[in-house]
Amino acid sequence: MRIPMIAANWKMNTTVSEAKKLVTEIHQELSDIKNIDKVICPPFISLATVYELTKEGSIKLGAQNVYFEEKGAYTGEISPLMLTDFCKYVIIGHSERRQYFNETREIINKKIRTSLSFKLMPILCVGESLEENEAGNTEKIVAGQLKSALAGIDYPNGLILAYEPIWAIGTGKSATGEQANKTIGFLRRNINELYNETAAQNVRILYGGSVTDTNTTEFISQPEIDGALVGGASLKAKQFISIVKQAREIKNQTSS
Ligand code: PEP
C-alpha cells in the first residue's frame, strides 16, 4: 500500500512572520493526523522557523529548489547539504523553474543525483504545456522528462513524482480526475519499463494543478493518484487542512 501524500508548495509567498502564522495553524490541526504524509515547502528563508514549529509533529518539510553542488563559489545558491538539517524532500523540475529559470533536463538530472546522494528525496515534477496537450503529445513529453531526469540513476526508493500539466498550474483550470489518472497510470508503466514492477507499484505519484478543497475528491478518488502537490490553496490554512483530511478519508476508505 502506498501512503498518500499532500504537499504544499508555498512558492515565493509568505514573509517569515506570515509563514510562522500559517504553519502554526496547519500544525495545530494536522500534526496528529496519521495514515497520510503531510509536506510543507516554504521559501528557503522560512525553513528554519517552520522547522522549529513543526519538528515535534508528523509534518515534514521540503525545499522548493536546490543546487547540484555540495558547496563552493556559487553565489546565491543553496546546496542539498544545507537543506538536510530541515528537509526530507525537495521539489525538482517544477515547470516554473524550467520556464523562468531555464532549467534544462540535464540540470534537473544533476539536481536529482546530488539530492539523492544526500538522502534528500526529490519530488520530481513533469507536465506538458497547453500546446503539447492539444497536439496529443502529453505522453511523449512526460515520458521524455521522466527518462532524462532519472538517466543513470539506480531506482531511488522513496522517489515521489508529481504530474503537473502546465496549463493547470495557478490557472484555476484543473485537469479532470480521469485525465490525470490516465497520465499518472502511464507514468507508473514508464517506471516499470525503466526499473521494474516493484518500483512501479511503490512510487507515489501526485497530481498538481489548481487543486482546491472543492475538487480534492475528484483527484484523490482515482486509483493511480496517490496525493496532490498544492500551490495556491496551500496558502490558506483552512483549505489545506481540508484537502489533507479529505484525502485521508478517501484513501482510507478505498484501502479498507
Ligand atoms: C504548483 O505550483 O505545484 C501548483 C500545483 O500550483 P497550483 O495549485 O496553484 O495550481
pLDDT at 170 over 90: no
Asked if pLDDT for residue 175 goes beyond 90, the answer is: no
Do the beta carbons of residue 234 and residue 10 sit within 8 Å?
Answer: yes
Q: What is the mean pLDDT of residues 135-158?
A: 95
Q: Are 157 and 142 in contact (CB under 8 A)?
A: no
Report the atom number in ligand 1 closest to the C-alpha of 96. 2
Structural Rg of the chain based on CA atoms: 17
Place of cell 497530481: 207
Name the residue type at position 157.
Answer: N
Maximum separation of any 2 CA atoms in the chain, in Å? 53
Does residue 231's CB lie within 6 angstroms of at least one atom of ligand 1? Answer: yes
3-state secondary structure of 168: helix
Sign (positive or negative) of CA dihedral 224, 135, 214, 170: positive
Ligand 1 midpoint to CA 142 (Å): 17
Q: For residue range 183-218, list pLDDT tens digits in order.
A: 999 999 999 999 999 999 999 999 999 999 999 999
CA of 53 to the centre of ligand 1 (A): 24
Q: Is the pLDDT of residue 63 over 90?
A: yes
Say how many C-beta atoms besides its own lie within 10 A of residue 168's C-beta. Answer: 22
State the catalytic residue, choosing from 103, 128, 164, 218.
164
Tell me, in angstroms, the distance from the centre of ligand 1 to residue 57's CA: 25
234 Cα: distance to centroid of ligand 1 (angstroms): 9
Tell me if 40 sits within 8 A of 9, measured CB to CB.
Answer: no
pLDDT category at 61 given cuts 50, 70, 90 is very high
The finding on whether 169 has its CB within 6 A of some atom of ligand 1 is yes
Domains in the chain, CATH or no CATH each: 5-248 (3.20.20.70)
Q: Yes or no: say if 233 and 214 are a contact pair by the CB < 8 Å rule.
A: no
Q: Is 208 in the pocket of ligand 1 (CB under 6 A)?
A: yes
- The response to whether residue 123 sits with its C-beta less than 6 Å from ligand 1 reads no
For 175, phi then psi, to 5°, come to -70, 170
Q: Supply 59's cell numbers.
A: 509534518
Ligand 1 site, residue 14, Cβ cutoff 6 A: no
Query: For position 142, what pLDDT does the model report?
Result: 98
For the question of residue 164 being annotated catalytic, the response is yes
Q: How far apart are CA 214 and CA 203, in angstroms?
A: 26
What is the reported pTM? 0.97
d(CA 75, CA 80): 15
Q: What is the pLDDT of residue 256?
A: 65
Is pLDDT larger for residue 175 or for residue 103?
103
